[in-house]
Structure 1
Amino acid sequence: MKKTFLALLASFSLSTTAQVTLIHNVNGYTPTKSQQIERFSSLVIKDGKVVKTSAKDLSTQYPSATKFDGEGKTLLPGLIDAHGHIIGLGNNLLTLDVRGSKTIAEVGKRLSHYAKAHEGEWIIGRGWDQTLWPGGQFPTAADLDKYVKDKPVILTRVDGHAIWVNSKAMALANISKSTKTPEGGEIITLNSGMPSGIFIDKAEDLIRTHVPAQSDAQVNKALNKAGEHLLSLGITSAHDAGIDYTTWQVYQARAKEHTMPLRVYAMLSASSPKLAEMLDVGVIK
């Protein structure tokens, strides 16, 4: 039988602020300062912090505590992701997912359903892989136009090195036969010489620069979605490897409000034009 695990989550600690909580009847593990692993069956949280662990049941010592029976399950400290992109994860969870699609028609079906429920100006998705399809050929803008032609669509390939867009997206980006391929990229063309709708690596920027920047509200939504997902996996802290100015502002505000869904060690993007401004502020705790 597969063993069931419990994860000690940041959200749980925050919810227990200003009270005492006892988790008992668990198979607990925690590291110690001497780099040993300590086993325990009871754990006490006070004012949002772990204050005691014991191999014995502490119920009688904390009679007024809010009690949770761990039912003998394994309890581990929250995990830390040493390199992640939190807002990117949240965006991926909120956008169209076409991973595993076996045909263009399957992508189109998912796109159609998503478009009906999507209120934004652009439809963003990820995960297509033409090698899984009959023939294995790159798709075209016309293939997407069959399903959505009134809104611009950008679907990133599963490896992140190409995008597939519809004709609306190319029109908004002023893409034509005369569009020059940027160094480090490639524009796949049709027999007519017109761009097909596939833009590889640096050529992606020809389209992406026309996508509106994320608003604070959108970043907050992505942060909440990523936090919900990470906490469900027992990940309570993450190093965010390179954040932009908007994300920095959101993190600042949420940290001051004490509403961050998990602990974040945020690294500033070295390419940000506002890097100096962010550095001058210093560390936000």
Structure 2
Amino acid sequence: MVGFVFVGGVVYSSFEPLVRADSLVVVNGRVAYVGSEDKALRIADTLGLNVIDLRGRVVMPGFIDSHAHLDSLGISLNSLDLRGVDSIEELKRRLREYADRVRTRWVYGRGWDQELFREGRWPSRFDLDSVINDRPVALVRVCGHAAVLNTKALELSGLLNSRDPDVVRDERGEPTGVVVERTLDRVRELINESYTVSDYEDFILSAMRYAASLGVTTIGFVSVNLRSLQALVNLESKLGALPIRVRIYLNPEDHGVLPESLLRPTPHSHAYVVEIV
């Protein structure tokens, strides 16, 4: 039996009506008692549970987020953060360090703002090529409406020799590497398609752990595609239980094409609920 007794704090078990106590007993991951410290300590002695002094801290029920995108959150958490970068040289340094440790096919980042750059200009594909020329790179501006790609990314996207008006060109008519709006949306789709189930496992696990760190214990995961669903099933199998409870809402277009392996009950199937919407 695994459990803890928390004493010396303020424990809210309800807000309507308001119910407040000073102790909490958790056994095998479930709340077993909320009430007085004396009784909680007797339970600890009887069951041999560890006692933790809250020292005045507040305990309350976990938050529930009814609409979230764990995959997008995970991608954001695992992307190169370029917010506040004040030069192209600093952007290149961070890109080099990030690329050495990221395993996804595309190298993806977001947050740069050329108005902060000491060089006084936009970054170009040649800046990125000087750091990475054998993997596609896409770095999205802080506004989300523009990005700079390296030459490899332009080639894979079919944009290097296109006449797409959303591909920015220099005075000679050569692509600078900057793309905007609808063309950027298509590049994002290519990046998302390149992610493997293993990539999604990393993304979703980091997103769940981040949510748990903020006190969110249940999430409604909306617009779930098949790779995200497979990743969740894999994580549950590997971990034994997910860090938080996840209620899954599948993409409508995926209805009717779910592999039988994803529908088979698992020992921990209580951790998520699949709902077709």
Normalised by the length of structure 1, the TM-score is 0.80
Alpha-carbon distance in structure 1 between the residues aligned to 2:108 and 2:4: 43
The answer to whether the Cα contact below 8 Å between 2:106 and 2:136 also exists between their aligned partners in 1 is: yes
1:264 to 220, 225, 246: 246
- 3-state SS, counterpart of residue 26 of structure 2: strand
- 3-state SS, counterpart of residue 9 of structure 2: strand
Structure 1 residues 120-131: aligned runs within 5 Å:
120-131=104-115
- 3-state SS, counterpart of residue 276 of structure 1: coil
1:166 to 150, 153, 160: 150
| Equivalent in the alignment of 1:46 | 27
The answer to whether the Cα contact below 8 Å between 1:95 and 1:124 also exists between their aligned partners in 2 is: yes
| Equivalent in the alignment of 1:216 | 197
1:98 to 68, 79, 82: 82
- 3-state SS, counterpart of residue 256 of structure 2: helix
Q: Which amino acid aligns with 2:67?
A: H
| Equivalent in the alignment of 1:31 | 14
| Equivalent in the alignment of 1:8 | none
| Equivalent in the alignment of 2:167 | 187
| Equivalent in the alignment of 1:198 | 178
| Equivalent in the alignment of 2:229 | 248
The answer to whether the Cα contact below 8 Å between 2:159 and 2:167 also exists between their aligned partners in 1 is: no
| Equivalent in the alignment of 1:67 | 51
Where structure 2 has 5 or more consecutive residues not aligned to the other structure, the ranges are: 265-272
- 3-state SS, counterpart of residue 225 of structure 1: helix
The percent identity for this pair of structures is: 28
Alpha-carbon distance in structure 1 between the residues aligned to 2:194 and 2:130: 27
Alpha-carbon distance in structure 2 between the residues aligned to 1:240 and 1:160: 23
Alpha-carbon distance in structure 1 between the residues aligned to 2:64 and 2:189: 33
The answer to whether the Cα contact below 8 Å between 2:8 and 2:37 also exists between their aligned partners in 1 is: no
Deviation (angstroms), 1:135: 7.4
CA deviations over 1:151-202 (Å, ceiling 9, x no partner): 2111122233222111121122232343334xxxx22222222222122221
Task: Determine which structure has the larger helix proportion and give its number.
Answer: 2
Deviation (angstroms), 1:124: 1.3
CA deviations over 1:16-61 (Å, ceiling 9, x no partner): xx434311111222315xx122211111122321121114332024
> Which stretch of the first structure deviates more once superposed, 190-199 or 204-213?
204-213
The answer to whether the Cα contact below 8 Å between 1:252 and 1:284 also exists between their aligned partners in 2 is: no
Q: Which amino acid aligns with 2:112?
A: W
Deviation (angstroms), 1:209: 4.8
Number of corresponding residues: 260
The answer to whether the Cα contact below 8 Å between 1:39 and 1:55 also exists between their aligned partners in 2 is: no
1:143 to 120, 127, 137: 127
Deviation (angstroms), 1:254: 4.1
CA deviations over 1:58-97 (Å, ceiling 9, x no partner): 2024312222221221222212223322122222222211
Q: Which amino acid aligns with 2:175?
A: P
> Which stretch of the first structure deviates more once superposed, 87-96 or 172-181?
172-181
Alpha-carbon distance in structure 2 between the residues aligned to 1:132 and 1:251: 40
Where structure 1 has 5 or more consecutive residues not aligned to the other structure, the ranges are: 1-17
Deviation (angstroms), 1:206: 4.5
Alpha-carbon distance in structure 2 between the residues aligned to 1:115 and 1:255: 29
Higher relative contact order by CA 8 Å / sep ≥ 6: 1 or 2? 1
The answer to whether the Cα contact below 8 Å between 2:104 and 2:195 also exists between their aligned partners in 1 is: no
> Which stretch of the first structure deviates more once superposed, 189-198 or 253-262?
253-262
Distance change >3 Å, CA 256–CA 122, structure 1 → 2: closer
